Amino acid sequence: MSATAPSRQLILDRISAATQDAAKDAAGRAAAYAALPRGYARRGLLNKEERVELMIERLREYDAEVVESLPTELPAAIEARLATSGRRKFVVPTGVPAEWGAFGFDWKLDHGLITAEVEQAEGVVTAATCGIADSGTIVLHHTAAEGRRILTLLPDWHLCILLASQVVETLPEYFDRCKQPPALVTWISGPSATADIEMTRIKGVHGPRFLHVILVRDESSAETYRSAAHTELRPEKSGSARIR
Amino acid sequence: MSLSAASHAELDPRLAAPFPKAVLPVLRNPQLRKNVAHAIDVIQAKRGKLVAEKRDWQELRTAASAIRAHALENLGAYLEQFEERCTAAGGTVHWAADAEEARKIILDLLRQQQATEVIKIKTMTSAEIQLNPCLQAAGVDVFETDLAEIILQLGDLEPSHIVVPALHVNRSQVREIFARRMGLKNLSDDPKELTNAARAFLRQKFLSIPTAISGANFLIAETGSVAVVESEGNGRMCLTLPRTMITLAGIEKVLPRFQDMEVMLQLLARSATGERMNPYTSLWTGVTEGDGPQSFHVVLLDNGRSSILGKEKQRQTLKCIRCAACMNTCPVYRQTGGHAYGSVYPGPIGAILTPQLMQMKHAQSLPFASSLCGACYEVCPVKINIPEVLLELRSQVVDQERKQAGRIFDPMYLGLRIANLIFAGAWRFHAAQWFGRMGLKLWTRKDGWIHSLPGVGGKWTQTRDLRGLPDQTFHQWWAKRAAQSRQEGK
Rounding to the nearest 10 degrees, give the CA dihedral for residues B66, B68, B73, B77.
Answer: 130
- CATH (one of 3.30.420.40, 3.30.465.10, 3.40.50.10420, 3.40.50.10490) for B68-264+276-307: 3.40.50.10420
* Residues on chain B touching A41 (C-beta within 8 angstroms): 55-56, 59
Smallest Cβ–Cβ distance between B280 and the set A112, A116, A186 belongs to A186
Contact A36 B291 (CB under 8 A): no
ipTM exceeding 0.90?
no
Give yes or no for residue B442 having a pLDDT over 80. yes
Q: Which residue has the higher pLDDT, B69 or B413?
A: B69
pLDDT reported for residue A228: 37
Residue B138 bridge partners (DSSP) = none
Q: Does A241 have pLDDT greater than 60?
A: no
Residues of B in contact with A189 (CB under 8 A): 269, 275-280
Domain extents for chain B?
Answer: 68-264+276-307, 411-489
**Could you tell me which chain A residue has the CA closest to the CA of B95?**
A8
Answer yes or no: is A145 within a domain. yes
Please state, in angstroms and rounded to a whole number, the distance separating the CA atoms of residues A191 and A203: 7
The alpha carbon of residue A62 is apart from the nearest alpha carbon of chain B, in Å, by 9
Kindly report the number of other CB atoms within 10 A of residue A95's CB atom.
14
Inter-residue long-range contacts of A81-89, CB under 8 Å, 24+ positions, other chains counted = A81/A159, A81/A212, A81/A214, A82/A123, A82/A125, A82/A159, A85/A122, A85/A123, A85/A157, A85/A159, A85/A210, A85/A212, A87/A122, A87/A123, A87/A157, A88/A122, A89/A120, A89/A121, A89/A122, A89/A123
Name the B residues in 260-289 with CB < 8 Å from any A CB.
261-263, 265-266, 269, 273, 275-286, 288
Whether A97 maps to a domain, the answer reads: yes
Mean pLDDT, residues B382-405: 91
A183 part of contact set with chain B, CB < 8 Å: yes
Closest approach of B91 to chain A, Cα-based (Å):
12
> Stretch B368-379: mean pLDDT, rounded?
96
In angstroms, the separation between the Cα of residue B291 and the nearest Cα of chain A is 6
For B306-318, write each residue's pLDDT tens digit.
Answer: 999 999 999 999 9
Q: What is the pLDDT of residues A17-57, one digit of tens each?
A: 999 867 678 999 999 999 999 999 999 999 999 999 999 99
Mutation site, A152, A196, A202, A209, interface B, largest B CB count within 10 A? A196
The pLDDT of residue A240: 36
Number of domains making up chain A: 1
A212 alpha-carbon distance from chain centroid? 11
CB contact set of A69 (below 8 Å; sequence gap of 6+): A76, A77, A214, A215, A216, A217, A227, A228
The domain that holds A93 is classified in CATH as: 3.40.50.10420
Three-state DSSP class for residue B256: coil
Is B301 in contact with B215 (CB distance < 8 Å)?
Answer: no
| Residue A19 covered by a domain | no
Better-scored residue on pLDDT, B62 or B415: B62
Q: Which of B280, B287, B295, B305 to mutate to test binding with chain A, by most A CBs within 10 Å of its CB?
A: B280
Specify the 3-state DSSP secondary structure of A102.
Answer: coil
Structural domain boundaries enclosing A135: 48-230
**The pLDDT value given to residue A103:** 67
A128 closest CA partner among A90, A168, A155, A84: A168
**Does residue B446 belong to the interface with chain A, where contact is any CB pair within 8 Å?**
no
Residue to test with chain B: of A15, A139, A211, most B Cβ within 10 A: A15
Does A131 contact B at CB distance below 8 Å?
A: no
A235 within a domain of the structure (yes/no): no
Interface of B with A in 309-328 (CB under 8 A): 309-310
C-alpha distances (whole Å) from B164 to each of A224, B146, B217 are: 44, 10, 15
| Residues in CB range of A234: below 8 A, 6 or more apart | none
- The distance of B399 to chain A (nearest Cα, Å) reads 22
Asked whether residue A155 is assigned to any structural domain, the reply reads yes
Q: What is the pLDDT of residues B275-319, one digit of tens each?
A: 999 999 999 999 999 999 999 999 999 999 999 999 999 999 999
What is the distance in angstroms between the Cα of A57 and the nearest Cα belonging to chain B?
Answer: 13
Chain B CB within 8 Å of residue A41 CB:
yes
Least confident of A231-240, B198-207, B327-336: A231-240
- A205 and B62 in contact by Cβ < 8 A? no
